[in-house]
Structures are given as structure tokens and as C-alpha cells.
Amino acid sequence: MAKVVAIKQQPVKTKQSARAKAVSDRPSRSEAEDAVRTLIRWAGDNPRRPGMIGTPARVVRAYEEWFSGYAQDPREYLSRTFDEVAGYDEVVVLRDISFESHCEHHLAPIIGRVHIGYLPRNRVVGISKLARLVDVYAKRFQIQEKMTAEIAGCLDSVLKPFGVAVVVEAAHQCMTTRGIHKLGVTMVTSQMLGVFRKRLETRHEFLSAINLRGAAPL
């Protein structure tokens, strides 16, 4: 039976105080619903008509789900690890982790998938925790470049492996449903740390494992 190791995290006062301030500044549910009504009126419709009278409440509930990542600490999902791995010392890859996020510039959906690889240093983390790590960052307002770096940085700082690799592929509806209206466009970002940055063969092993060019369409 594998031994579970809990990683003790040091509190980060600046992040905690920033989070507390964000909570204290958060509008009430009633204020949020009023804001939705204002946007409906600005768009040219009547929020009081029968078909839309319940829309503000539904939108606020949707926001609670879409942006639940602000209430979660991604490091907590990586705090339980397994150190009995029978000498396993090769790359671990979890690919095609689906996600839905929202662009911080237009609040439009970003739909895509994440591929994560790391080279363990004596301990591994449960694969479901990697998917949860992605969800925490995805369920916030994002730009893809920042989200890619955040996932890699968190995994690297908590597990301290020999290296971390993250590739994100996504379609941005701020580009497909407005503005330039270009369908079928996919953005690809990557963050390579440790051996994945320094050793070309390790990076190629990861990229081959995720089969980037051969993946199913989004």
C-alpha cells in the first residue's frame, strides 16, 4: 500500500490578505442581479418581461459555478502525495484535460484542453488532483498564457519535481463570435520548466506523448 505524504504549506500572508480584501469588497447577490438587469436594459431588452424575469438570478448562479476557482487554493490539491512508487523515475503525463474558462478581456468563453507532464522527484500526486488543479485556474477570468504559467508554476513549487511541462490548446470565443470572426482557430501555449526546458530529448518525449498534432479536434 502506497504511503501518503502530506506536504506542509507555509502561509503566504500577502495572498491571504489579498483574498480577504477581495471577499470584503464582493457585492451582494442582490447587487449582482441588479447589474445583470442593467446589462439587459443596455442591450435593449426588458428584464421585467416574463421570459427574462428570472434571468438575473440564473446568471448569478452560473457565475458562482464558472468562477468558483477564486474560492479555492490550487496548492491544497497537491498537498497529498505518494512516495512508494517502486523506483519509478520516468515522465508522468496526463493529457486531454478538458476545461472551460472565460477571457478576462471580453468575458467570452475559452474552451480547450490541457496536457501536463512532470518528472517526479521520489513522489507523485493523484492524477485527479492534476485535473482539479486545471479547474481551479480555469474557473477564473483568464488569458491563456497566464493560465499555462500558473498551472506549471504551482505544480513546480509544490511538488518540486525535476521538471514540469504544460501545453494548453484552446478556442477563444472572443475571436470566433465577435471582432474578427475566425472559426476553427486554436491557440497553443506551453510552459517548460526544469529538465523539460534544459533537455531537448525530455521535451520531445513529452510532446510525443501528448501527440499534439494528432489530437482530436476541439
Q: What tens digit of pLDDT does each residue of 159-202 get? A: 999 999 999 999 999 999 999 999 999 999 999 999 999 999 99
Give residue 56's Cα distance to chain centre. Answer: 26
In the set 115, 142, 172, 191, the catalytic residue is 172
At 85-122, the pLDDT tens digits run: 788 889 999 999 999 999 999 999 999 999 999 999 98
Catalytic annotation present for 174: yes
Catalytic annotation present for 204: no
Catalytic annotation present for 65: no
**H/E segment holding residue 13:** helix 13-24
What does the alpha-carbon distance between residue 19 and residue 93 come to, in Å, rounded to a whole number?
32
- Scan for cell 471580453, then name that residue: 106
Is 70 exceeded by the pLDDT of residue 3?
Answer: no
In the set 76, 84, 100, 104, the catalytic residue is 104
